[in-house]
Amino acid sequence: MTMAERVAELVRIRQEVQGGAPAATEAQHAKGKLTARERIALLLDEGSFHEVEQLRRHRASGFGLEHKRPHTDGVVTGWGTVEGRTVFVYAHDFRIFGGALGEAHATKIHKIMDMAIAAGAPLVSLNDGAGARIQEGVSALAGYGGIFQRNTLASGVIPQISVMLGPCAGGAAYSPALTDFVFMVRDTSQMFITGPDVVRAVTGEEITQNGLGGADVHAGTSGVAHFAYDDEETCIAEVRYLISMLPSNNRATPPAAPCSDPADRRCERLLDLVPLDGNRPYDMREVIAEIVDDGEHMEVHERWATSVITTLARLGGRVVGIVASQPQSLAGVLDIHSSEKAARFVQMCDAFSIPLVTLVDVPGFLPGVGQEHGGIIRHGAKLLYAYCNATVPRVQVILRKAYGGAYIVMDSRSIGTDVSLAWPANEIAVMGAEGAANVVFRRQIAQADDPEAVRQQLVKEYKAELMHPYYAAERGLVDDVIDPADTRSALIGALEMLRTKHAVTPARKHGNPPM
């Protein structure tokens, strides 16, 4: 056989591998799902994909496996580019063994993860698999262990993005949970440790797969998923957009983008957007859209723990992470879930050198027996720890109220924010004036001939003495009180000044954050 004939044979094999079985492809499409290679083509720049171990086959025997040894072993691995930047990817091929993980399958994933870590480039997993390959027993389970170990080693080193495009059950669900971001597609993707059949057998509860672990459940109830979309095309397009906001690794800075939105643009709309009355709600998303470049931002965990907003945006062309109170939801209080959500976001931004902007309008922590028994102290401490531990540039803006421990936790001057700004209507205090007067002047009010009149007068005096907008500025806890319309230019100026920030931390193996 000549070399030309050998090359022709190689070409034929590759065409067979890439095409797959037509019937299996049709079955995948009939479920409203794309194939692994179609998904990769959507994710990566056209013509940029380089496949690794395309001709890999398993070596297992028993249960008929020795007679079924397809190339790729049910996972497509390799690298390509997204907007010209290198990205590594692996995609389960549900057409082969249902995407189930065996020893060879796992080894391919291990290799591409090792390559991503060595190259310092993001890793995207396109998940559509049936879990461990039962016929291979403990070898399949060990394969998952190797993935989990690499997820952990890569944590905070390279961005890891999990895209759920099919079922993910049992131990397989832990790999996405270890990554930085989880995307899901409604109706076609599910995640759960034990499926509906097991739940029914053990607890007697009847529930569907989507009801147990669908995209809406994890995006709005459990907080496992950061993003949920209606179709694969939109989902993968948003993954590309997220990658454009992230650095390649922890030694790089997030990519800057040309900005036509003037840095000194005044935000006059903010003067009317935020009511002076601290009890009146408004949508903080509108404030964020007014401040950031071209009004564009990508909200993380949009439907979970909605009293706080966490979002990625650009200011002056440079990426920032924004943590903001949301007065439209529970008045913007911090509770167990919102504290956890914000803490995780702060840690991610700090790991990948993304500056933090904190917009504060917080009445405190949510009171209640359920919150206390659920560990609000422990969960609130997670956010406190995350901010105190962060070394990226940090700028705080207090829009209206900032009361009690929640003021401290939301990146106050006392826990290390680099620049603290406030609007002229800000109120920083241990608690609201009404509550404070009831506590401090309790006896005086009770003994008065007209308790309500006296209470109102004492509330007014308390506000004038301790809650006027310049009280914190007079004590150096706020660096400047600014015109709300100047918020955008003030933030861009502060972040530009902080671009060369270098923080020295104590030598340690690692901290011991609250869990």
Contacts of 144 (CB under 8 A, 6+ apart): 101, 106, 132, 171, 172, 174, 175
Structure tokens of 378? 């422990």
State the catalytic residues: 170-171, 405-406
Structure tokens of 416? 């290390």
Report the distance separating Cα 465 and Cα 370, nearest Å.
35
Report the distance separating Cα 494 and Cα 455, nearest Å.
42
Q: How would you classify the pairing of strands 308-315 and 297-300? A: antiparallel
Q: How many CB atoms lie within 10 A of CB 443?
A: 8
The CA distances from residue 509 to 16, 79, 231, 313, in Å, are: 50, 33, 43, 32
Label each residue of 104-152 as H, E or C.
Answer: HHHHHHHHHHHHHHHHCCCEEEEECCCCECHHHCHHHHHHHHHHHHHHH
Query: Do residues 455 and 438 make contact, with C-beta atoms less than 8 angstroms apart?
Result: yes
Exposure of 7 in the CB half-sphere (CA atoms within 13 A)? 3
Report the distance separating Cα 491 and Cα 270, nearest Å.
15
Exposure of 514 in the CB half-sphere (CA atoms within 13 A)? 18
Strand partners, 322: 311, 357
Report the distance separating Cα 165 and Cα 76, nearest Å.
15
Contacts of 125 (CB under 8 A, 6+ apart): 89, 90, 91, 160, 161, 162, 163, 175, 176, 179
Contacts of 75 (CB under 8 A, 6+ apart): 36, 90, 91, 92, 93, 99, 101, 105, 108, 109
Q: Does residue 290 come out as left (phi exceeding 0), alpha (psi in the -120 to 50 range) or beta?
A: alpha
Strand partners, 360: 398
